Chain A
Amino acid sequence: MPPSIHPVDLITALRQKHLTPAIVFLTSRRACDDAMETFDHADLLLPPARQEAIDVALERITVQHPSIAEHPLIPIVRRIGIAAHHAGHLPSWKIAIEELMRQGHLDAVFATTTLAAGVDFPARTVVITQSSIRKSRDFTDLTIGEVQQISGRAGRRGKDHVGFAIVTPSPYIDLAVLTKGLTGQPEAINSQFTISYPMVLNLLKAHPHEQIQGILAKSFAQFQLNQRAELLEQKLDAVHVQMEPFGPRVCTDWITQWHTFDHARRHRHTRHQTHRSESPEISARLPFLTPGRVVGLGKGRGIVLRQYRSKGQKNSMLTLLRPDSAVTECPVTSVKEVYDRTYDCTETPTYPWCSTETFDRLSHQLAELPSHLPVLPILVPLGFEPLPDAIIQSLGDFPCPTCPSRPACQKDFTTASRLRQEQQRHTKSIQALRTSLWHRFQERVEVLQKFGYLTPATQLTIDGEWARLIRIDHSLLITELIRAEAFSGADPSLLAGVLASLAHDDDRPGAFPRISPGLSSLLGQVRKLAESLSPYEDPPLLRADVAALVERWVSDPALTWIGLCRLTTMAEGDIYRLLARTLEFLSQVQALKSTHPGLAESASQAITLIRRGVLEELP
C-alpha cells in the first residue's frame, strides 16, 4: 500500500461520492506541484461542456491578467478541472483560480495551508493530509485554531447543505492533533506587542514623554499583563491571609529579628569545633598526600600508601611505608614535609594497600632516595572569614533568649519566613508585570538618544523628524545607512537592490545572476553596519541573490518577466513578493522628499522602473 493516497485516486474517489469541489491541503508547494504532475496522463477528463465553460471563463480572466495566458498548468486545468494554488504562483494566477472556483468550474484545488488564512475561498469539501506545518524551518503541530480555519473552508453558504472535512493519512500524520482540532475550542490569542524604533519616535512626536506610559498602558499587551498581575495579586492576598497569625509579637518585625538571631547563633556555633576538621594548613596538604608521595616525618621519610579517615581520630590518617618495609599508620599532622617526588603506586583495597610488586619496588626506591629532596610548595588559602564579632557579641543584646514568645517564634519561623519570601516574590513579579512595557520603551529611548535621533530631553532631533517616517522592519539600519550617506550618488537600481536584500526575509535558496561590483561593495558596507547595529536590532538576511535580481530588473528595462524568472530558481510568486516588498520599502524612502530630495528622487525612479510587466498588471 502506498504511504498516502495517489492524487488521481483521491480525485476519483471524491468525484464518485459527489464530494467536489474540494480543496486539498498539502504540506508544501512542492507537494502541490508534484500532485499536479501526476495528472499529466490521467484519464479523468471533464465532459466537453464543462471544458468549454472553463475555456470561456479563463479567456475572460486573461483579458484582465495577460500574464496567466501561458501558464504551464492551463492544459490540466482545462482538461481535468483541477489546479494548484500556493504562494509560489503569481497573484494573477491565484486570482484566476479563485475566480474559477467561485464560479464552480473546478473540481479540486491543491493548496498549501497559507490559503486557509487568506482569501475567501470555500468549497464543499476540504481534504486534510497533514497534522503539522512548516513554521520558520521547523515543523509544528497545527493548532486548534488552524485546523478550524482549514475546516472552515468546507461548506459553501447557500450552495451546500453540509460541508465535509476529510482526513487522509500521509506519513507522520498525528490523528489526535486533527481530531482535537476539529472538536476543540480554539486557543486564546495573546498580544504580540513589540516596541519598535519608529513607534517610539512617532509616539514622542505626538505626545510628551510623561503621557506615553499611559498610552502603553492602553495596549492589549498591558491588558493581558494586568490580567496576570491580578492573578498574582489574588495569590498575594491569600498569602496575606495566611500571614495573619504571624503578625507583630513582642517585636514588630519578629521574623527578621529571629532570622538574625538564629543566624548569629548558628554562626557562633562554628567557632567551637566540636566536630572533626583540619586546620587550613593541613587541609591544603591533603590533596597532595596521595599514594606514591614521598613525605618527611619527625624521624626519617615515608611513602604514602593510602589516606583514610578513622573514627576515633580528629584528623585524616595516612598509611605509610617506612624504611625497612615497615607499614605504619599516623595522622596527617605528624607529616613534617611533603616532598616534590611521587612514585607509581598500584593500589589494592587490602593490606598492604598496594600490589606486591609495587611494595617491593617502593621499598627499594625509598632506600635509595637522595639525602636532599625538594620540598613541595603548598599554598595555604586564607582561613575562613573572621567571624563577624559584632554579631557574636551582640548576641547578648538580642531580646530573643529571654523573650516570652521565644518558643512561638522558634516554632513559626520556617512557615512565616517561607510565606514572607513568597510575598516578596509576588510583589516583585507584580511590579515587573506592571512596568515591563514602560521599561522596554525606555530601553528603546536610550538607544535612540545614543544614536542622536532624540535629544536628552526626549525631543526629536532633526534626524528623528525624518526617521520616524521609515516605518518598516530594520528601520534603524535604514536610517543609519541614510545618515552615513551610503546611498548618495547610488543610482535607482543599486538602491532598489539593497532595499530588496533588506526586505526579503525568506530563506528559501535561489540561484542568482552575476552581481555588479557597485552593488557588491555597497552590500558589504550594509553588512558591516548591520553587524555593528546587531545589539540594537536583529540584522536582516541581506541576501546577495535577491539584491542582484532586483538590480537587474530595475537596470535593464528590456528584461521581460520570463527573462527575469530564468535568471533564478526562485518561484514566480516569490519574485513577485520580493518586488512588492521592495516597492513598499522604496515608497517609505520616497516619503523623505523634503529632507533627502536626491534619495527620494532616486527611490521614485526605482519605483517607476520596477512597476512594469506583471507588476503593473495587478492593482
Chain B
Amino acid sequence: MTTDELEQLLAQQPVALLHRLARGRVHRHFRAGKRRLIELLLQHSSQNRAGLESDLETLIGERHSPLGSGSPHIHRAPAITPKKASPRGAEPESAETAVSLSAWLEGLGVPSPQPFVPDPWQNEALSALNEADVVISVPTGSGKTYVAVEAARRAMEDNRTVIYTSPLKALSNTKYTEFSRIFGPDTVGILTGDRQENGQAPLLIMTTEILRNLLYDAASGEIDVRLDTLGLVILDESQYLADPERGVVWEETIIFCPSQARLLLLSASIGNPQDIADWLTSIRSTVCRLVRHSKRTVPLRAGYLHPNGKLTPLFKTLGIPYGHPSHLHPEAKRLFLEYEEETLPTGRPRR
C-alpha cells in the first residue's frame, strides 16, 4: 500500500475507527480532529507501517462484519462471515478476544490448483525494469524467481545476454537445473569456482565472486566481449550485501557493473531497501526503482507447543499482530511462564 492509498483509505473511515486505530499510537489522539488524526497516523506509519496496515484491515473487517460493529456486547456472539465456514470464524477477528485453537488450525490444507496470475508487484517490477534498475525487497517465498525468469526472457528476446548470480554454489546449481528446464539447456550456462559449462550461452549463472572477477578482468583491459552485449544482471539474495565477510563482493559487483546493463536486485525483506535504491540511483546512470511489500503470499500463523504436547496459538489474533509483540495468547503466556518457572534455577534472574 502506498502512502497515498493509505491516506485515502484512512480518509474513508469514520472518525471513531481512526480513534481506535490511534489508541496506543498517537499521544492524546482524542484531542485531534479527523484531518489532524490522519496526518498523525501517517506520521506514525513511518515507524511501523506493517502494524498499522494490519490493524487497519482488522478494524475495517470488524466494521463490515454484520454484528461486530459498534456494539461490544455482541462481540462474543457467533457471527457468520462469508469467508469462514465455521460459525466461530468471526471470533478471531475481534481484537479483544483471543483466538481459539480450532479457529487457529482452520484453513489447513491444500488449495485447489489455480492458474498462475502474476501479482501486481511482479508486473510492476517487470515494467519498471524497462527503463530503470530495480530493487525488490519482498518476504521469502513471494515469487521473486518469476520476476527473474520473465526479466531474463525479455532481455534475451532483445538479443541481450543475462547474468544471474547467487551467493551459494548449491543455489547456482539449483537455478541452473531450473533455468535449463525453462529455457532449454543450450541457452543456459554456468560458471562457478569449479564448474564451467556452456560458457557462451546467453543466460549465464554464476556465483557473485565469479562475476566480480570477470568485471575486474574486463576493467583491466582483458576485455570479455560478452560484457558489451550484457543487458541484465540479476543479483539474487542481495541481502548478502550485509554479510561481514562477503558483502564487499556485492558492492564491488554493483560498482563495476557496466552502465548499459540493467541491474535487478532480489532481496528478502530488509529494513532499509530504500537506501539501497537511493544508493543505486546515486551511482548509476539510470534511476533505480524500489519494489517492496511485506505481505506474505501464504499467510503465517504462530503457535506455541508446550513440552507436554499442548498446542495453543501464540498470539491473541489469528494472524501475526505486526508491531505488537506483546499481544500474546493468554494460554501461551501462562504455559510459558510455567515453563520458565520450572526450568530456570531458582534465584536466577530471568533472561
What residues of chain A have their CB less than 8 Å away from a CB belonging to chain B?
Answer: 1-5, 9-10, 12-13, 17-19, 91, 94-95, 118-120, 122, 124, 127, 145, 148-149, 151-169, 171-172, 174-176, 179-180, 182-194, 196, 199, 202, 205-207, 215, 218-221, 223-224, 227, 468, 471, 580, 583-584, 587, 611, 619
Contacts and interface: CB of A to CB of B under 8 A. Distances in A.
B66 interface: no
Contacts of A174: 351
B135 to A, nearest CB: 12
Contacts of A227: 275
Contacts of A164: 300-303
Per CB-CB distance, the 9 closest pairs between chain A and chain B, nearest first, are A152-B140, A155-B298, A192-B247, A189-B242, A188-B271, A188-B272, A206-B219, A168-B305, A179-B325
Given A166-B302, A168-B305, A583-B194, A175 B255 contact: no
Contacts of B314: 166-167, 179, 182
Interface stretch (B10-18, B106-114, B126-134): B106-114
A571 B216 CA distance: 36
Contact of A193 (B49, B247, B270): B247
Interface stretch (B74-82, B156-164, B276-284): B276-284
A118 B170 contact: yes
Interface string B155-189: 00000000000001111011010000000000000
B300 A165 contact: yes
Given A145-B239, A157-B297, A17 B110 contact: no
B268 A152 contact: yes
B89 to A, nearest CB: 14
A192 B241 CA distance: 7
Interface stretch (B1-9, B24-32, B315-323): B315-323
Contact of A206 (B221, B254, B282, B297): B221
B298 A189 contact: no
Contact of B220 (A19, A169, A172, A202): A202
Given A182-B314, A580-B194, 10 more contacts: A145-B268, A158-B113, A158-B114, A159-B110, A162-B299, A183-B51, A205-B220, A206-B221, A220-B254, A587-B194
Contacts, number: 246
Contacts of B343: 3, 169, 171
11 contacts: A2-B307, A17-B311, A19-B108, A155-B299, A160-B108, A161-B108, A161-B299, A165-B303, A166-B302, A169-B306, A189-B271
A202 B139 contact: no
A146 B252 CA distance: 25
Interface in B286-334: 294, 296-309, 311, 314-315, 320-328
Given A159-B110, A471-B213, A191 B251 contact: yes
A149 B299 contact: no
Contacts of A12: 309
A186 B242 contact: no
A119 B170 CA distance: 7
Interface residues of B, number: 90
Contacts of A202: 216, 219-220
Contacts of A194: 248
A124 B326 CA distance: 25
B232 to A, nearest CB: 20
A580 B169 CA distance: 11
Contacts of B105: 17
B195 interface: yes
Contacts of B248: 192-194, 196, 199
A619 B173 contact: yes
Contacts of B107: 161-162
Contact of A149 (B140, B271, B276): B140
Given A161-B108, A193-B247, A179 B307 contact: no
Contacts of A94: 170
Contacts of B194: 580, 583-584, 587, 611
A26 B245 CA distance: 25
Nearest to B283: A218
A119 B171 contact: yes
Contact of B243 (A3, A187, A192, A199): A192
Given A169-B339, A184-B325, A1 B308 contact: yes
A174 to B, nearest CB: 5
A148 B139 contact: yes
Nearest to B303: A166
A161 B109 contact: yes
Interface in B231-273: 239, 241-245, 247-248, 251-252, 254-255, 268-272
A74 B322 CA distance: 41
A161 B279 contact: no
Contact of B174 (A120, A149, A206): A120
A213 to B, nearest CB: 13
B193 A583 contact: yes
A13 B309 contact: yes
